[in-house]
Amino acid sequence: MNHWIWITSGFAMAIASAACGLAQAKAVAAACEGMARNPSAAASIRFALILGLALIESLALYTLVIILLQVRAT
Amino acid sequence: MQEHELWFTALLNDHLAGAGNAVLAWVGTRAENPARPWPNFIAMEILAALAVIVVFAILRPKLSVDRPGKLQHCFELIYLFLRNTAEEIMGPHARLYLAFFGTIFIFVLFSNLLGIIPTFESPTMFPAVPLGCALATFAYYNLMGFRAQGLGGYLKHFAGPMPLLAPLMVPIEVISHMSRPLSLTIRLYANMYAGEQVTLAFLGIAPLVIPVAFMGLHVFVAFLQAFIFALLTMVYVSGAVEHEH
């Protein structure tokens, strides 16, 4: 019965979500500034923004999957 | 971890158990419980595929150049969206591969949205289904790469820009190619699974109004993840068939 998994999974998910939040904030800030400077390019900037956000989100989700695997294994 | 059986799965188990066992025996495995061999995700996946087939079977006779109906407008929007995205990523050759992109997008979209309907579950919530879609994408873009550039030509691209760098580039390229189906699988599976778990968690806390916000987020994420899956498929195919002409 390894009870450390409950503590470490909380910390791991929190760190992953925090890093993901910071990265997505940078992406959104750059996209907003780009759209403000060049409104005619807004469509392609929005496209790149959505793509980037989904890829960054998936990094936080990898942590969640590891946690789920470990919780299921204990 | 015995899952609750949905009514559609129970229907398949009641009437088609023999066919299920036969298919499993054909690939060499046995079901955990031979009396009820169909698991939930296979039944839901079949339902999603049937839904796609039925929608297109209804659409096809109604297509008309002069007087398009509502369904035709809806699917023209989807088609133009996919074609413009593919042409933006791949250039003018996108038409050759658009059939696969559209199939993947619509199948993943229908599978994701199936979970919103009360007595069904998203098949993409179980790890096997996104794995199947990701392996299909992996096989497709490699086959298209072989077809566009020949067997040796496609493999030569793993060596990188200069032959001198080949011992360094080949392991890096192989690892990055192997990581593509893994990341596609985990992204789709984790998004759908986490969306449902969050909704369930909030249903336990506040049963009345709050979970609607999370279900709405889950619907948005369903659309977004289907789009991202199709988009990454386009990026991988374009990477495999570039250097052409």
Write out pLDDT tens, residues B151-164. 888 888 887 777 78
What are B31-82's pLDDT values in tens digits? 777 778 888 898 999 999 999 999 999 998 888 888 888 888 999 999 999 9
Q: Please give the residue that has the higher pLDDT: either B244 or B22.
A: B22
Q: Give the C-alpha separation, B135 to B126, whole Å.
A: 15
Cross-chain residue pair B186–A58, CB shorter than 8 Å:
yes
Q: Give the C-alpha separation, B10 to B27, whole Å.
A: 23
* DSSP 8-state symbol, B158: G
* Average predicted confidence (pLDDT) for chain B: 88
Predicted confidence band of residue B28 (pLDDT cuts 50, 70, 90): confident
Secondary structure of residue B68 in the 3-state scheme: coil
The answer to ipTM > 0.95 is no
How close A51 gets to chain B, by Cα (Å)?
7
B228 vs A54, A65, A68: nearest CB = A54
Does the CB of A58 have a partner CB in chain B at under 8 Å?
A: yes
Does the CB of B225 have a partner CB in chain A at under 8 Å?
A: yes
Predicted confidence band of residue B243 (pLDDT cuts 50, 70, 90): low
Q: Give the C-alpha separation, B47 to B113, whole Å.
A: 12
Structure pTM? 0.90
Q: Please give the residue that has the higher pLDDT: either A27 or B210.
A: A27
Distances (CA, A) of A10 to A5, A24, A63, B127, B162: 8, 21, 11, 23, 46
Does the CB of B183 have a partner CB in chain A at under 8 Å?
A: yes
Note the Cα B219 to chain centre separation in Å: 16
Contact B111, B123 (CB under 8 A): yes
Q: Give the C-alpha separation, B197 to A13, whole Å.
A: 15
**With 90 as the cut, is the pLDDT of residue B12 above it?**
no
Q: Give the C-alpha separation, B116 to B105, whole Å.
A: 18
Q: Read off the tokens for B62.
A: 């109604």
